[in-house]
Structure 1
Amino acid sequence: MTLNILFQDDDLVIVNKPAGLLVHRTELAKDEEDAVVQRLRDQTGKWVFPVHRLDRATSGVLIMAFSPHIARALGEQFTHNKNQKIYHCLVRGFCHDQGIIDYPLVKISEPKGMPRFKVPGSEKEAQTEFELLERYQLPYPVSRYDSMRLSWIKVMPKQGRKHQIRRHFKHTLHPLVGDSRYGCRHINKAMNTLWPEVFRLMLHASSLSFTHPATHQAMTVSAPFDGKIQTTLARLKPHQII
């Protein structure tokens, strides 16, 4: 399956990564044949170099470079927070209208063949700004509650810590719908029972603003929602709380 290319020139290529696809093979998934790197190599006929990552279950804007020096230059922008990332996600409960989650995150290590663990002394600052877009209340029981409450939000993480958005919203007791690691099993079970054909991690990298390292042009690239997210939002619309 070909990837949806949002932008391409001689230096870099930007795609709308589908949910469920690895960015590249890892030590933990080295037997997997399919990944963005392999698909783009075949699709463009060029070697590509990852600049940043999206979780396997996350969809949206992803940049790859066609050379190591372009990858390094773009990587510097990510390291020093010189770009702007906008995500959209669906979370449990009713969020505040807006806010900033300022909560340091400890590095997570996942050694081969061993359970993942938090690395002591590796705590780093992390801030995630958010803005409420919609609230929904559905007449379906979840655990001990007689209705399901959800919030659709726009999220702007300042850094790019591993699983930053997912961990931050778990910390605020508003875990992401469809999150198998940090989510709520009750809300996930309810959503999967209600709409199993569109159930997924409801997290999408909607846009990325950065400076092109070769042309020095300011760029913003946006990625549309996939069919599962669009269908979910359409089904939620009648349950919107004004």
Structure 2
Amino acid sequence: MRIIVADCSAQYSGRLNASLPLAKRVLLVKADNSVLIFSELGSYKPLNWMAAPCTIRQIDPPDADDDPDTPVPERVLRVCAEKSDDVLEITLQHVYADDTYDLGEDPGLVKDGVEDHLQRYLAEQIERIGEGAKLVRREYPTAIGPVDIMAVDGDGMHVAIEIKRHGGIDGVEQLTRYCKLLNRDPLIAPVRGIFAAQTITPQARTLAHERGFECMILDYDDMKGQEDGTLRLF
């Protein structure tokens, strides 16, 4: 990882044109030659960037102009995309720091509470959908994709469960398609649906009720056994 702190300007050309006026900024140059330009304030996103695959070439500054007031750049970095004509040209007027660090191999981000975890815990604790419920299987296959959980409730009816971290209308539509297809199978019909998520938007809840689905709020900490609580059915 190369970190450059400098007074710089930048010009991006190609599929779009964008420019950054001269200001003090931080440049990150990654091992794959990706270049990201950050400011002191603002969001976590870079002001401009060039993603890999790309190449970086340092261009020597032109000879000084006769005008002593014309600033001469210390260096110019030209970053060219390999799969398009996009070019990011960064002009460094004054470099405060230019350091390189070997970060080694990164093990990657370990996420907790993703949909797969919610699915696994609910499958292991399937009676949360009702007393006497039994798991059929996770990732129940259909012609349009796998249903997160297929179960049988205490009355012997099949239940298709769609799980999201944050439940929106798209998730309800997905469950609708699954249930419509599953109810064509005489071996398992009728199949009812449960839309389960850590949070569910009011619009998604209204649509789910109109489609005849139950909405279930999943308390992840409780499912992990870290807190006491009762799952709520709406």
TM over 0.5: no
Question: If each structure's helix is expressed as a fraction of its own residues, which one has the higher value?
Answer: 1
What's the TM-score once normalised by structure 1's chain length?
0.24
Question: If each structure's strand is expressed as a fraction of its own residues, which one has the higher value?
Answer: 2
Higher relative contact order (CA 8 A, sep 6+): 1
